[in-house]
C-alpha cells in the first residue's frame, strides 16, 4: 500500500487524557497516534494522523484524502452530529471511510446517537476507547486492500 491511511480527529480530542477520562480514557492523542502508527506498521502500511478543532480545516483534510490517502479513519467528534458540510466532503471520496469513536454514542445522550458521518462511512467502530482507533486502522487497511483491482 503506497498511500497512507489518514487518521483524522475532530474537536476537543486534543484534550484526550484530561477531558472526561471516565468516558474517553486517560490516554493522550499522542498515545492514540502512536497506537495507529504501530498497528499500521504491522500491516505494512503508514498513517498520517491529524487533529483540529476547526470544521473547515477538517473538511480540507478530508478533501486532501481524496487523492492522497488509501483510506480514511475519522473521529468527527461533535462535528459528526452537526456538520452537513463534512458529510458533503465525505461523499466525494471513493476510498474506504471508517468512522471511529472512543465511546459508544448509542449508549450516551440521544443527540449523540445520530451522526451524519455514518451516512458516508463504509463502517463504524466505537466503544473500545483508544483501541477503537487501532481497530479502525486495521479495518481501513483491509477495506483498502480489498478494493484494489
**Residue numbers annotated as active site:** 24, 101
Integer angstrom CA distances of residue 53 from 8, 31, 56, 98: 11, 18, 9, 20
Integer angstrom CA distances of residue 145 from 3, 5, 71, 74: 11, 11, 9, 18
Backbone angles phi, psi at 95, to 5 degrees: -95, 160
Amino acid at each position: 500500500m503506497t498511500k497512507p491511511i489518514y487518521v483524522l480527529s475532530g474537536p476537543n480530542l486534543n484534550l484526550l487524557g484530561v477531558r472526561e477520562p471516565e468516558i474517553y480514557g486517560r490516554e493522550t492523542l499522542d498515545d492514540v497516534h502512536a497506537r495507529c502508527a504501530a498497528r499500521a506498521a504491522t500491516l505494512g502500511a503508514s498513517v498520517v494522523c491529524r487533529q483540529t478543532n476547526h470544521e473547515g480545516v477538517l473538511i480540507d483534510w478530508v478533501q486532501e484524502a481524496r487523492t492522497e490517502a488509501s483510506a480514511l479513519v475519522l473521529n468527527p467528534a461533535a462535528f459528526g452530529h452537526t456538520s452537513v458540510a463534512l458529510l458533503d466532503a465525505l461523499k466525494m471520496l471513493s476510498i474506504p471511510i471508517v468512522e471511529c469513536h472512543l465511546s459508544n454514542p448509542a449508549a450516551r445522550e440521544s443527540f449523540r446517537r445520530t451522526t451524519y458521518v455514518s451516512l458516508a462511512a463504509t463502517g463504524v467502530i466505537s466503544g473500545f476507547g483508544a483501541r477503537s482507533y487501532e481497530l479502525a486502522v486495521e479495518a481501513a487497511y483491509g477495506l483498502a486492500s480489498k478494493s484494489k483491482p
